[in-house]
Amino acid sequence: MLEYIAVGVLLVAAIYGGALALAKLWLRAMRPADRGVRVIPVRGHREDLEHLLRAIEPPVLLWDVGLDEDSRALARRLCADVPDAVVVEENTEDLLAVLETLNSARK
């Protein structure tokens, strides 16, 4: 009797795992190829900027909406090292111009 229960549990786990794997493959195949530019507003003192930039796929646009001087200098230094990463000051017109430039460069 215990053998039948063990086989049943293993069968259910195998079916569940197979369904999860198929769902993950299906979702990966169906996601759009072009994900666009990620705009991340940052403000205050941010020591996690390097982690933030490395964790997100380029292109990334850091929108400075009030970073302190140390964090702004760190953001500029990091964006110089990471391809397709840009820091934009608070000005909205600059943000729109950089977005258009990044989008046109990707096409």
User: DSSP assignment of 48-97, as one string?
Assistant: -HHHHHHHSPSPEEEEEEEE-HHHHHHHHHHHHHSTTEEEE-S-HHHHHH
Same domain, 11 and 46: no
Mean pLDDT of 10-25: 94
Mean pLDDT of 20-41: 81
> CA 47 → CA 19, 21, 76, 78, 85, distances in Å?
41, 37, 13, 12, 17
Residues facing 64 on adjacent strands: 42
Same domain, 22 and 50: no
- Please give the tally of structural domains in the chain: 2
Percentage with pLDDT > 90 across the chain: 21
Same domain, 23 and 5: yes
- Distance CA(36)–CA(103), nearest Å, equals 7
Confidence (pLDDT) at 60: 82
Same domain, 18 and 52: no
pLDDT at 107 over 60: no
Same domain, 22 and 45: no
Q: Please give the distance of CA 62 from its chain centroid, rounded to a whole number.
A: 12
Whole-prediction pTM: 0.56
pLDDT at 48 over 80: yes
Instruction: Tell me which residue range forms the domain holding 8.
Output: 1-31
Mean pLDDT of 70-90: 83
